[in-house]
Amino acid sequence: MDIFANLVIGFANAVQPMNFLMISLGLLIGIIAGALPGITMINSIVLVLPFTYLMGIVPALLLMIGVYCGGVFGGSITGILFNIPGDPMNVPTTWEGYRLNRQGKTQYALGLAIMSSAFGGLVSALCLAFFAPPFAKFALGFSTVEFFSVVVFGLASVSVLGSSSMTTALISLFAGMFLGTIGTEAQYGVERFTFGLPFLSSGVDFVAVLIGLFAIGEVLEQLVGAAPESVPETSVRKAMPRLPLLDLWPLRWPLVRGTAVGVVVGGLAGAGATVSSFVSYGLERQVSKTPELFGKGHAGGLVASESSVNGSTGGAMVHLLCLGIPGSAATAVMMGAFLLHGIQPGPLLFTKQPVEVFTIIAGMILANIIMIFMGYVAAFSFATLMKVPAAILNTFIVVFCFLGGYALRNDLADVWMTMLFGVLGYVMRRYDLPIAPLVMGLILGPMAEQYFLTSMLANQNDLSVFVTRPVSAIILGIGVLLVLWAIMKAVKGRRSALEELVMQGQMTRVEEG
Q: Average per-residue pLDDT in the chain?
A: 79
Percent of the chain with pLDDT over 70: 84
The most confident of the ranges 46-60, 74-88, 134-148, 334-348 is: 46-60
State the pLDDT at residue 268.
60
**Contacts for 363 with CB less than 8 Å, ≥ 6 apart:** 10, 14, 19, 23, 61, 62, 65, 66
What's the CA gap between 406 and 400, in Å, rounded?
Answer: 10
pLDDT band at residue 15, thresholds of 50, 70 and 90? Answer: very high
State the pLDDT at residue 215.
73
State the pLDDT at residue 134.
76
pLDDT band at residue 19, thresholds of 50, 70 and 90? Answer: very high
Percent of the chain with pLDDT over 90: 12
pLDDT digits 0-9 by tens, 317-373:
887 887 777 767 778 788 878 887 777 787 778 888 888 889 999 999 999 999 988
Helix (H, G, I), strand (E, B) or coil at 184: strand
Neighbour-count burial of 227, counting CB atoms closer than 10 A to its CB (0-12 exposed, 13-18 middle, 19+ buried) = exposed
Per-residue pLDDT averaged across 61-84, rounded? 84
Contact 128, 361 (CB under 8 A): yes
pLDDT band at residue 166, thresholds of 50, 70 and 90? Answer: confident
**Contacts for 229 with CB less than 8 Å, ≥ 6 apart:** 84
What's the CA gap between 194 and 214, in Å, rounded?
Answer: 25
Helix (H), strand (E) counts: the chain:
21, 2
| Residue with the larger pLDDT of the pair 255 and 216 | 255
| Residue with the larger pLDDT of the pair 85 and 68 | 68
pLDDT digits 0-9 by tens, 287-307:
888 877 887 888 889 999 899
Per-residue pLDDT averaged across 423-442, rounded? 82
Per-residue pLDDT averaged across 230-246, rounded? 53
State the pLDDT at residue 263.
85
CA-based nearest residue to 337, from 347, 348, 326: 326
pLDDT surpasses 90 at 282 = no
Contact 376, 114 (CB under 8 A): yes
State the pLDDT at residue 229.
44
pLDDT digits 0-9 by tens, 453-501:
888 888 888 888 888 888 889 888 888 887 787 778 777 777 776 777 7
pLDDT digits 0-9 by tens, 362-416:
999 999 999 988 888 887 776 555 556 767 767 877 887 787 777 667 778 888 8
| Residue with the larger pLDDT of the pair 176 and 500 | 176
The residues that bridge with 96 in the sheet, in sequence order, are none
State the pLDDT at residue 5.
87
pLDDT band at residue 228, thresholds of 50, 70 and 90? Answer: very low
Asked which of 26-30, 230-234, 453-457, 465-469 is least confident by mean pLDDT, the reply is: 230-234
Please report how many Cα atoms fall inside a 13 Å half-sphere around the Cα of residue 317, on the Cβ side.
30
